[in-house]
Structure 1
């Protein structure tokens, strides 16, 4: 019997080999398509995670300075934090002294271990929402009232108090600082929108890496050394060099923008 050396394999063998190659390619294609689909779905899932809803204020409870300022200073405070109570008078003085050269943006970040911090933050949000037109002045005055009487809402002082009793303390500060009525204050404290916006303000801080108070960002960069012990001079030492640089850059940029807008 003569061998098949040098001859082409039978047609059925070619078909079987081609079928195996086709099956492998098909399986490989399906696997790649499946992997690509999972990747796309994962990306869509990440992008579709609900963002923190915009509240009309940029999650800012208080603004000092002007929107056109050369330097933006973002401050995170906790109304029940003793370091914030020390820092507030200095920050307030700095914001006033620098005027329209800086914009101070305050956000509240109620720390979980301060039992009444969130309730105080809700009180500030109530004043902001119920004092349209004068909210910044009212909130700033409320901050001062709270920080002066902060011991009254400390964990130790309120250990045996009921929630309504604690709210009454906040009410006295809110009404005296903003002029709002007690009825409006309690209405705001029970308002679901106030609750949501206060929670979202805290979430905003978490999203931006805030882990304590007071925490200060200048031009979006974390500024160390501006804690509760910071003096007016400490602020000057940081702000003045930055402002001297931005003041020389701003006119150039405005001129460039005007030329390119024509």
Structure 2
């Protein structure tokens, strides 16, 4: 396990180094809007009006899956006093991470209200899309299974054509790449990874329980 962690850290450091090297040679493309999806609202929080929790999650990461319900419960406890912004971070050692993140970016273009239901559906059924179960399948087969089993139940048959067109265009690919580069630029090395009001949490990298979130957020919420 320790050797695997070292290899993962090395891989991500190489990726970060490549991003930095590219940044020296040319400007990294600037997205149309700030990366991430606001939970529970279609509006961006005004700076300074709420405590802002940023969560970097991979839809096929078991630790991301386990972390989300606890964070969601804590945020629901505080209502509008805490804003959660989820960034998708497709880990390179999860074979189907890019597909899953690209799917979520695609449904966001159809209707932003589809984002979190699809993310949670990925969490619920993610074991079927781990590396081993899909090892002998082609990329096209996995894409088709994700569309049929995960996406269509959320967006409906009426939006299927729009989804397929959006998934295969360059915009969804670009948005998914930007999400990964954004995380690398901020030093994210795994999922789940958390920032509170822009400061990284030392407990990032593993799920945090509801009570831990309360202990972190309570002192801050009272000062907003």
- Report if TM-score (shorter chain) is over 0.5: yes
Aligned partner of 2:152 in structure 1 is 175
- Do structure 1's residue 113 and structure 2's residue 93 form an aligned pair? yes
Gaps of 5+ in 1: 1-45, 248-262
Q: Match of 2:73? A: 93
| 2:216 corresponding residue in structure 1 | 238
CA distance in 2 between partners of 1:111 and 1:89 (Å): 20
CA pair 228-196 structure 1, distance change in 2 beyond 3 A = same
Q: Which has the larger radius of gyration?
A: 1
Task: Please give the secondary structure, in 2, of the residue aligned with 1:72.
Answer: strand
Partner of 2:142: 166
Give unmatched runs, 5+ long, in structure 2: 1-22
Shift of 1:227: 5.0
**Whole-Å separation in 2 of the counterparts to 1:91 and 1:187:** 33
CA distance in 2, matches of 1:99, 1:219: 17
Q: CA deviation at 1:63?
A: 3.5
Counterpart CA distance in 2 for 1:177 and 1:153 is 18
Runs of at least 4 residues of structure 1 off by over 3 A?
A: 46-49, 61-66, 226-229
Partner of 1:77: 57
Paired with 1:190 and 1:205, the residues of 2 have a C-alpha distance of: 23
Native 8 Å contact 2:38 2:83 kept in 1: no
Higher relative contact order (CA 8 A, sep 6+): 2
Contact 2:190 2:205 in 1 (8 A): no
